[in-house]
């Protein structure tokens, strides 16, 4: 993906996809639907921009899938940090984004320890200290 074409919506979508993939071996349709709802909300999707919405989803998915598996976690964390530095993306916006992560996590009816840990890590990158994981595990997170 051409870095010059990236929009904040691409960044949001990338983190949502990465979170879902790294915290669950298989992404359920419920989780996919929730990711699409969250991106649509940020984009204020209407009939006039549905093509752009679909383009963002497709491009971001292709971008994520083009990375080597070993690079996914670092990319998600780097992009999360980039999101926190977006102009006009204040603390309330960052909290809303982190809330989206929780919504995506529970879309399939579960909130696993791995999802909780990933949530907390992304929260730290966003500059938000909301911890929901009970205990930090040592070792690799994700699949």
Q: How far is CA 1 from CA 18, 24, 59, in A?
A: 16, 25, 7
For the entire predicted model, the pTM comes to: 0.89
| DSSP character string of 48-70 | TTHHHHHHHHHHHHHHHHHS-GG
pLDDT for the residue 143: 46
The better pLDDT of the pair 134, 32 is held by 32
pLDDT at residue 135 is higher than 50: yes
With cut-offs at 50, 70 and 90, classify the pLDDT of residue 132.
Answer: confident
Read off the pLDDT of residues 7-27 as tens digits, 9 standing for 90 and up. 999 999 999 999 999 998 789
Query: Of 123, 94, 101, nearest to 8 (Cα)?
Result: 94
User: What is the crossing angle of helices 91-106 and 8-23, to 10°?
Assistant: 40
The domain segmentation of the chain, as residue ranges, is 3-126
Q: How far apart are CA 71 and CA 69, in angstroms?
A: 5
Say if residues 118 and 31 touch (Cβ distance below 8 Å). no
| φ, ψ (nearest 5 deg) of residue 131 | -100, 130
Read off the pLDDT of residues 31-60 as tens digits, 9 standing for 90 and up. 999 999 999 999 999 999 999 999 999 999
Say if residues 22 and 76 touch (Cβ distance below 8 Å). yes
Read off the pLDDT of residues 89-118 as tens digits, 9 standing for 90 and up. 999 999 999 999 999 999 999 999 999 999
Q: How far apart are CA 121 and CA 130, in angstroms?
A: 10
Q: How far apart are CA 92 and CA 108, in angstroms?
A: 26
């Amino acid at each position: 993906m051409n870095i010059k074409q990236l929009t904040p919506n691409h960044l949001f979508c990338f983190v949502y996809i990465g979170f879902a993939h790294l915290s669950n071996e298989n992404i359920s349709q419920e989780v996919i639907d929730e990711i699409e709802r969250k991106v649509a909300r940020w984009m204020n999707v209407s009939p006039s921009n549905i093509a752009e919405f679909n383009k963002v989803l497709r491009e971001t998915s292709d971008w994520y899938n083009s990375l080597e598996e070993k690079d996914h976690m670092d990319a998600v964390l780097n992009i999360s940090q980039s999101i926190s530095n977006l102009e006009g993306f204040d603390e309330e916006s960052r909290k809303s984004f982190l809330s989206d992560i929780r919504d995506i996590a529970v879309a399939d009816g579960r909130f696993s320890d791995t999802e909780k840990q990933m949530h907390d890590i992304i929260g730290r990158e966003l500059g938000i200290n909301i911890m929901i994981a009970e205990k930090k595990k040592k070792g690799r997170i994700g699949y």
